[in-house]
Amino acid sequence: MERTLAMIKPDATERGIAGKIISRIEDEGFCVLGMRMLSMTLTQAQGFYAVHRERPFFDDLTAFMSSGQTIVLVLEREDAIRCWRDVMGATNPEEATEGTIRKEHGESIERNSTHGSDAPDTAAFEIGYWFSGADFSS
């Protein structure tokens, strides 16, 4: 079994579609081990996305992610990272495959409703960032 971090971004929570996304997560066979809603501060967003600090989109991304409520989840299943990324679809909703969350709910490359870890080391960092000290043992 593998774990990954998923986020339902502020654009999705403000439109009231978080429940649809959570239902989709469960329908896809993920076990939700942890979930919390938070209003990310700019400092938290900058820390979480620090890997992108030198990228031109960093300021816009962190401002957006600290603009409203976000739901962060720890998901578990076989091949969780790849499976969640497949369910989300391409970062740009215009390029996402039909039936993916970003194709169905994303509004733009920034307001694309969801986030997911891209590798095991990233998942470990991201889960620890939002769920520090949490025990997900079964």
Phi then psi dihedrals of residue 2, to 5 deg: -130, 150
Q: Which of 90, 85, 68, 69 is nearest to 123 (CA)?
A: 85
Residue whose C-alpha is closest to residue 24's, from 114, 117, 121: 114
Structural domain boundaries enclosing 120: 2-130
Number of domains making up the chain: 1
In a domain, 6, yes or no: yes
Examine residue 20 and state whether it is found in any structural domain, yes or no: yes
Residue 74 falls within a domain, yes or no?
yes
Q: Give a yes or no: residue 136 inside a domain.
A: no
Query: Is residue 54 situated within a structural domain?
Result: yes
Residue 138 domain-assigned? no
pLDDT, residue 138, reads 57
Q: Helix H segments across 50-93?
A: 58-65, 80-88
56 falls within a domain? yes
**Which domain CATH number covers 57?**
3.30.70.141
Reported pTM? 0.91
Identify residue 119 by its one-letter amino acid code.
A
* pLDDT tens for each residue of the chain, 138 residues long: 999 999 999 999 999 999 999 999 999 999 999 999 999 999 999 999 998 999 999 999 999 999 999 999 999 999 999 999 999 999 899 999 999 999 999 999 889 999 999 999 999 999 999 998 888 875
Q: Which residues are catalytic?
A: 115
| pLDDT value, residue 93 | 92
111 in any annotated domain: yes
